A and B are shown apart, each in its own frame.
Chain A
């Protein structure tokens, strides 16, 4: 069932200098994501998840290590990979309408004006935002804004979507709606998704495979195959005995890591 390897991080490491000492945000991150897979990374808060993601798409230069997309080493933000940020209000352009925000990502592609509009419109309708094309993003609710950001990602048609805690800034109800929306998009477009979260239940609910990060400097502590039926359901999946076992296991792991962080005084 898993396709060929699409994304591979090898010994990824990023450090920064504070005063005299060198602090590692992430150290030795090695993992891979296969085509069509939904992978979630969970880790204690403040363990350098965002730094790791930014290194993955070369927004930050890794101090050491390599990232491969389709077995090609990358040295600049790769076209095949799109990162969606947690903070939608800071990644949508407030001076562009919803439609123009989506069109932004198509402006570099060789397409006719009509093709661009068609792609943008269908991406917006995939996230149920038809009819809001001419609104400004800041006129919409938080959940809707994050859906615009997602529509922008899928309109670009990348091989893999990276998401950095995409649902952390919305309320609980919207959050579960967005979780289902992203699952729907994942299966509809046969996307490959790597999603980073601090929410254990969210990770299990969404993923085929969960990677648990250790505290700073973060490494992959454990890899857990999630064996739950699809399509998933907010009620029945989360009541499944296996779901609860996964949660128990991952929760224990993260607690341990969190305590290590506290002892280290971070």
Chain B
């Protein structure tokens, strides 16, 4: 009788763990890592191409200790940020202008429609011609690629500002500049922020790619360099580092967004 009762509660506990928590997912990760360790060691996967997890981690720690990985990471982040900030300035300015002034959007409409679907990496050869392998080469491509999500979101955001907010501000004597600063931009900010989030991820991708194609510094270069030099554990450690950088930056962004955009979350939750 009691046994049955305990059995049921244990069963319920397992059920609730499976349903409510991501323990199973964590176990899957653990299992994959164990496979990553065991398969190369046992020779089932060719260990030269796919070294064991511990070997890769060893290379990562060594890279951090010697400072090489940190140096390359710093260079990549620096380039990504330069391009990202330029993209913010260009994207927000252009997006606001096209979103609020009719003739600007008429003028740029077709050019934007032609340029926007253009994959940024296709411009790599031009940038190499212009800038060689200097930082400007990476930054120009990053700027091009990151501008579009910010531009499009800013445009959408300024377009979707409720006309009644504008009317309200006009009644209280707001000038055109007041409207922009106090109504249009704050109201469009949730859109702009989601463009910024997309662009942040894009900037990491593009910095990696441009460094893989033509650079002598940075994480992307490090990956291609170790690949060509057949230092495979180091190559994997570089890939893991890029993943960590992407994850970390996104995490920071979400934290900042949660704090700055709290009003929007609450408002959306209320209006649904």
Given A90-B165, A93-B183, A156:B267 Cβ within 8 A: no
Within the complex, the shortest CB–CB distance from A153 to chain B, in Å, comes to 9
Q: Of B174, B263, B271, which is within 8 A of A95 by CB?
A: B263
| Residues 122 to 178 of chain A near chain B (Cβ within 8 Å) | 136, 138-139, 152, 156
CB atoms of A136 and B171 under 8 A apart? no
Q: CB distance A108 to B164 under 8 Å? A: no
Are B271 and A91 in contact, with the CB atoms below 8 A? no
List chain A residues, Cβ under 8 A from B172: 82, 104-105, 108, 152, 156
State how many angstroms separate the Cβ of A7 from the closest Cβ of chain B: 15
B160 to chain A, nearest CB (A): 12
In the complex, chain B residues whose CB is within 8 Å of the CB of A104: 169, 172, 182
Contacting residue for A94 out of B168, B169, B267, CB 8 A: B267
What does the 1/0 interface line of B229-272 toward A look like (CB < 8 Å)? 00000000000000000000000000000000001101100110
Within the complex, what minimum Cβ distance (angstroms) separates B234 from chain A? Answer: 48
> Beta-carbon contacts of B150-186 to A below 8 Å, as 1s and 0s?
0000000000001011011111111000100011001
With known contacts A87-B164, A90-B162, A136–B173 Cβ distance under 8 A: no
Chain B contacts of A108 at CB under 8 A? 172-174, 178
Q: Does any Cβ of A come within 8 Å of B212's Cβ?
A: no
Report which residue of B162, B171, B267, B270 has the largest number of chain A beta carbons within 10 angstroms of its beta carbon: B171
Q: Does A77 contact B (CB under 8 A)?
A: yes
In the complex, B86 has a CB within 8 A of chain A: no
Judge whether B189 is part of the interface by a CB distance below 8 angstroms: yes
- B187 in the interface, Cβ–Cβ < 8 Å? yes
Within 8 Å CB of B169, what residues of A? Answer: 104
Q: A61 → chain B, closest Cβ, in Å?
A: 13
CB contact between B170 and one of A77, A89, A107, A136 (< 8 Å): that residue: A77
B267–A136 contact, CB under 8 A?
yes
- Which residues of A (36-90) have their CB < 8 Å from a CB of B? 54, 57, 59, 77, 79, 81-83, 85, 87, 89-90
Report the minimal beta-carbon distance from A144 to chain B, rounded to whole angstroms: 13
Q: What is the minimal beta-carbon distance from A186 to any residue of chain B, in angstroms? A: 19
Contacts of A57 in B (CB 8 A): 171
Residues of B within 8 A of A85 (CB): 164, 167-168
Q: Is the CB of A54 within 8 A of B167?
A: yes
Closest to B267 in A: A94
Q: Which residue of B lies closest to A140 (CB)?
A: B270
* A95 close to B187 (CB less than 8 A): yes
Residues of A within 8 A of B170 (CB): 59, 77
Q: How far is the CA of A82 from the CA of B169 in the complex (A)?
A: 10
Contacts of A90 in B (CB 8 A): 162, 164-165
Q: How far is the CA of A121 from the CA of B271 in the complex (A)?
A: 27
Asked if residues A79 and B263 are in contact (CB atoms below 8 Å), the reply is: no
CB distance from A170 to the nearest CB of B (A): 16
> Chain B's nearest CB lies how many Å from the CB of A119?
14
Report the bound CA distance from A107 to B173 in whole Å: 10
Nearest chain B residue, comparing its CB with the CB of A109: B173
- Chain B positions within 8 Å of A91 at CB level: 164-165, 167-168
Cβ–Cβ contact B266 & A139, under 8 A: yes
Chain B's closest residue to A105 (CB) is B172
Q: Are A94 and B264 in contact (CB under 8 A)?
A: yes
Is B187 within 8 A of A59, CB to CB?
no
On chain A, the residues within 8 Å of B264 by CB distance are 94-95
Q: How far is the CB of A136 from chain B (nearest CB, A)?
A: 6
* Contact residues in B for A107 (Cβ distance below 8 Å): 182
A-B contact pairs, 25 of them (CB 8 A): A59-B167, A59-B171, A77-B170, A82-B172, A90-B162, A90-B164, A91-B167, A91-B168, A93-B165, A93-B186, A93-B187, A94-B267, A95-B263, A104-B169, A104-B172, A105-B172, A107-B182, A108-B173, A108-B174, A108-B178, A136-B266, A136-B267, A138-B266, A138-B271, A156-B172
A-side interface residues toward B, CB under 8 Å?
54, 57, 59, 77, 79, 81-83, 85, 87, 89-91, 93-96, 104-105, 107-108, 136, 138-139, 152, 156
Given known contacts A57-B171, A77-B171, A94-B263, what 19 new A-B pairs fall within 8 Å (CB)?
A: A59-B170, A79-B173, A81-B171, A82-B171, A85-B167, A85-B168, A89-B271, A91-B167, A93-B186, A95-B189, A96-B186, A104-B169, A107-B182, A108-B172, A108-B173, A138-B267, A138-B270, A138-B271, A152-B172
6 closest residue pairs by CB, A with B: A90-B164, A94-B267, A105-B172, A91-B168, A138-B270, A138-B267
